[in-house]
Amino acid sequence: MQHKIKKIWAREILDSRGNPTVEVDLWLADANCQCACKGCDCSEGFGRAGVPSGASTGSHEAVELRDGSTSLATSSDKKRYGGKGVLKAVENVNKKIALKIKNKSFDQKSLDEFLIKLDGTKNKGNLGANAILGVSVAFAKAAAQVEGVPLYKYFKNISLATGKAKSQTPILPVPLMNILNGGAHAKDSTDIQEFMIAPIGAKNFKEAVQMGSEVFQNLKKILSEKGLATTVGDEGGFAPKLGSNEDAIQLIIEAIKKAGYKPGKDIALALDVAATELYENGKYNLKIENKILTSDQMIDMYESWIKKYPIISIEDGLAEDDWDGYQKLTKKLGQGPKGIQIMGDDLFVTNIERLRKGIERKVCNSILIKLNQIGTITETIEAVKMAHKAGYTAVISHRSGETEDSTIADFVVGLSAGQIKTGSVCRGERIAKYNQLIRIEEELENKAVYAGEKAFS
């Protein structure tokens, strides 16, 4: 369904790390505003989108335009917010994009294709993926209001319009909850970036959140009793200084048991290694353990952990361009009845071309989906569909620099993805996504199914 864009406006706001990011407001002309102002924020055709930002970013991601990193950056640009300002991206929305789309009609696909063409670069480096995504998501929210459907239903509808979706039954995702942070998200903690819990044994999403919260609170008690720090990293997980990466796994197992759950049956473990951050001169530097490992040795380490602990998923286990290593990793640990989820994030960066290459080379069996890595709703849906068609799982994800925008909660239900990564059960910008999923589950009542362990098949 096409909608006429009446007005669009972007601004610079702050993300969860206190850095600037882009927020976009968009009004549709076919809105049914009942107010005297005719077009205010209570209009049924209004959408607002906050754009997230990553810390450990893949080099193949779409360009996040920052004022201090452009070729025309002034000394003032480099000083303001440490060069991280996004006034140029904001200006691109308010002037270049607004000029071309105002008073014109689009559906989601035609708008996204128009924005890509307007940018004219392969990596969205002209207008900035942060500018383009803000417009794409704001339009989606406004269009859902005009069409009188919840946002998750809007995403399902446009997904069905471009081909059969994975499932006709609404699926509530298993949350991969990052309860212990390291790497680029929490310096001086662990080498591995994220240690997550997956409540696979929950009856529904609400219970999954409860289970995660109880484990999180028990982990806090355990850390405190051991004299370890209970401060949290960018995504809300604790960031204690530990003697080894395996210590983190053991602490989480202890917390699961203390909360009254069975590791592996009720709650499984998942890792985001972010191995690109560890990659130096062709090898992997585990500084906390003073070890330098090859790809084969990293794979052996993971295999030893899988034998000892209920690890169900490993994300970014190797560096973003270590394709040969990933082939070995996938073949050894990701295939067969005992195979686990081998997920590519920095490897694929939600990019259809890189995902296609991975499918052809039998690399990974899962892709992490981040909207701001690719820049539009349409391209993100295409990536999810390609993954599902190839038998890969698709995990919808936040970024470490987040806003209170909860779009990905609706997106994961609309695309029946079955898994979501949105941080710990701590910090408002993470909780916003969990709370929205609780509301969606309540609205769907018995029509929804909690993905559970099947989400990792």
CA 358/CA 364 separation, integer angstroms:
7
| Helix axis angle, 151-161 to 407-414, nearest 10° | 40
Cβ-Cβ contacts under 8 Å for 60 (sequence gap 6 or more)? 320, 346, 349, 351, 354
The one-letter code for the residue type at 205 is: F
**From the CB of residue 324, how many other CB atoms can be counted at a distance below 10 Å?**
12
CA 298/CA 287 separation, integer angstroms:
14
CA 195/CA 248 separation, integer angstroms:
7
Residue carrying the six token digits 């239903």: 153
CA–CA distances in Å: residue 369 to residues 184, 225, 350? 19, 37, 5
Tokens of 18: 């206190």
Residue 235 is a catalytic residue: yes
Q: Report whether 30 contacts 4 (CB < 8 A).
A: yes
Tokens of 266: 């009720």
Q: Which of 235, 315, 379, 382 is catalytic?
A: 235
CA 143/CA 137 separation, integer angstroms:
10
CA 423/CA 431 separation, integer angstroms:
8
Distance, first Cα to last Cα, the chain: 35
CA 261/CA 453 separation, integer angstroms:
15
Q: Report whether 237 contacts 181 (CB < 8 A).
A: yes
How are beta strands 341-344 and 366-369 bridged, if at all?
parallel
Q: Which of 6, 370, 385, 433 is catalytic?
A: 370
**From the CB of residue 63, how many other CB atoms can be counted at a distance below 10 Å?**
21
CA 50/CA 297 separation, integer angstroms:
41
CA 42/CA 46 separation, integer angstroms:
7
Tokens of 410: 């609706």
CA 256/CA 304 separation, integer angstroms:
21
Mapping DSSP onto H, E and C, the string for 360-391 reads: HCCCCCEEEECHHHHCCHHHHHHHHHHHHHCC
Residue carrying the six token digits 């929305």: 93
CA 302/CA 179 separation, integer angstroms:
20
Residue 289 is a catalytic residue: no
Catalytic positions are 235, 370
